[in-house]
Amino acid sequence: MAGHSHWAGIKHKKGIADKKRGALFGKLSRAIIVAAQNGGGDPAMNLTLRYAIDRARKSSMPKDNIERAIKKGCGDMGGVVYTEILYEGYGAEGVAVLCDALTDNRNRTAGEVRKCFEVHGGNLGATGCVSWMFERKGLFLVPAENVDEEALFEVALEAGAEDVKAVGPGFEITCDPEVYDDVDAALEAAKYATEMAEITRVASNTVTLDVAGGRKVLKLIDALEELEDIQSVTANFDIPDDVMAEVESE
């Protein structure tokens, strides 16, 4: 899985995130609602719900909001039924892009996603056109400051992680999604801070972009991230540090 750390690195370089806390909480609530709809409201028996709740807590989402989302998902408070959809397409320079969506209106969301791709020099593709390039993994980024690599390696691997490697100013840990909770708990127990802890898609290969391509692709990613129905965006590109500095100088 050469290059699978690049997207995580790009997200930290660019700071891709929801601009408003209200928008972030809305997306987190949807994830909890859908998880509860599909697997019930007990996080002990529903791994997807447990992960969604954990993400919400780490984002400082209020407990009442979390509990309300679970109740909505279980049908206790009525509300909208959301559908999970994966949109696939290509950005500039042939970059593969995946968009995870939770929507109550497929036509609206598909139209918004298609427009984003078209405006920013890409195109929305058919199901399966790029998803084969990605694999779901648990991914953790641990800052290197005051961290002993051998000790971190031991903690992570004993918890079930697949790999620990130095990446830039930190360490990257990957694992099978099934042991994500175990690795997360082990890192927390050992008091290792994490800049990122999530189950995501990682690419088997990457496309290295120049300044022009980098600007186009990052604008596409930003536009997709801003859509209310989009939960997350993943892509298989890399932008070298010197190129990123020029991209951000625009």
Strands 207-208 and 230-235: unpaired
Q: Which of 20-34, 168-182, 207-221 has the lowest mean pLDDT?
A: 20-34
- Per-residue tokens: 9: 């690195």
Looking at the predicted structure, is the pLDDT value of residue 12 above 60? Answer: no
Considering the segment(s) 134-203 as one domain, its CATH architecture is: 2-Layer Sandwich (3.30)
Asked if pLDDT for residue 3 goes beyond 50, the answer is no
Determine the pLDDT at residue 13: 52
pLDDT beyond 80 at 219: yes
- pTM score over 0.85: no
**Terminal alpha carbon distance of the chain:** 32
Length of the chain equals 250
pLDDT tens, position by position, 24-35? 788 888 899 999
> What pLDDT, on a 0 to 100 scale, did the predictor assign at position 169?
78
DSSP string, 3-58: TTTHHHHHHHHHT-S-SSHHHHHHHHHHHHHHHHHHH-S-TTT-HHHHHHHHHHHH
Task: Report d(CA 172, CA 137) in Å as an integer.
Answer: 12
Pairing of strands 96-103, 230-235: antiparallel
Residue 7 pLDDT > 60: no
| Residue-averaged pLDDT of the chain | 86
Whether residue 16 has pLDDT greater than 50: no
Contact predicate 134/86, CB 8 Å: no
Residue 22 has pLDDT above 90, yes or no: no
> Is residue 19 over pLDDT 80?
no
What would the pLDDT profile of 76-134 be if each residue is shown by its tens digit? Answer: 766 678 888 999 999 999 999 999 999 989 999 999 999 999 999 999 999 999 999 99
Distance CA 122, CA 238 (A): 17
